[in-house]
Amino acid sequence: MILYFSATGNSKYVAQRIAEFLGEKAVSILADDLPDEPIKGLVTPVYALGLPDIVEKFLLENKLQKQDYLFFVATYGTTPGQAAYFANKAFKSRNNASFDAFFSIKMPDTWTPMFDLSDQAKVAALNEAAEKETDAVIAQIAAKNRPQTVKRQTPFFTRPIYRPYYNWMRQTKNFHLEETCIGCGLCARKCPSNAIIMENSRPQWVKDKCTMCLRCLHHCPTFAIQYGKNTKTHGQYRNPHVSID
């Protein structure tokens, strides 16, 4: 079983590719009933140099079965930061065991408050390059190689930056709604933090903080959900190979 968390499909796609090669199944950590079987790997995006809070919480709260080889894959847009360190720390805290190998794959950066994904040719080129990186990671996993650091990660002294930076990013007060909202409720149904409810056919953020995966923004059919000042011109993104339930 390959576990993953994914908001826009990047990590899901990587998990599915690895699972298909290994003859395993890719399972979301948000699944209602996780199979009672050993975990072979975890694929997750990087948020603010670290882990999405929902992934860290999952690792801290769930007793997972490990066999002889367990890998971690970080999908990232700018840098994998120190996500591998935080994942291993959380997993070890609950399971008294460690990941055996750490990998990273560069993909389109979906943090559109900062990064521009409006150029579809550029996005396609990033995804094409990611295919080759994924092939290389699969080859290493198949050989059970055990790299202990990931490419392009930030230095260890950036670890203290993660939580303050992430907590600042996670403030839902930065979301706003445009008049193009059609009241479909997709954002509320897809929010992994259960931070959105529908009132009078309009989404309302009812928590001060969320995972800040931007799933609501990237999946909105009319692009009515915005975060800050830049997302409107930076576009939406969903991995072209998979859908997110």
- DSSP assignment letter at 44: E
Per-residue pLDDT, 151: 85
Q: What is the pLDDT of residues 175-193, one digit of tens each?
A: 999 999 999 999 999 999 9
Of 118, 109, 112, nearest in space to 217 by CA:
112
SS3 call for 32: coil
DSSP of 196-233? EEEETTEEEE-SSB-----HHHHH-TT--EEETTTHHH
Q: What is the pLDDT of residues 98-112, one digit of tens each?
A: 999 999 999 999 999
Question: Where does 2-165 sit in CATH, by number?
Answer: 3.40.50
DSSP of 149-200? S-TTPPPGGGGGGHHHHHHHHTBGGGEEE-TT-----HHHHH-TT--EEEET
Confidence label for 244 from pLDDT (cuts 50, 70 and 90): confident
Per-residue pLDDT, 239: 97
Paired with 227 in beta bridges are 175
> Which pair of structure tokens corresponds to residue 114?
């900062």
List the domain boundaries for the chain: 2-165, 171-234
Average pLDDT of the residues in 140-152 = 94
> Which pair of structure tokens corresponds to residue 173?
């007060």
Q: Which CATH number fits domain 171-234: 3.40.50.10320, 3.40.640.10, 3.30.70.20, 3.40.50.720?
A: 3.30.70.20
pLDDT > 70 in the chain, percent: 100
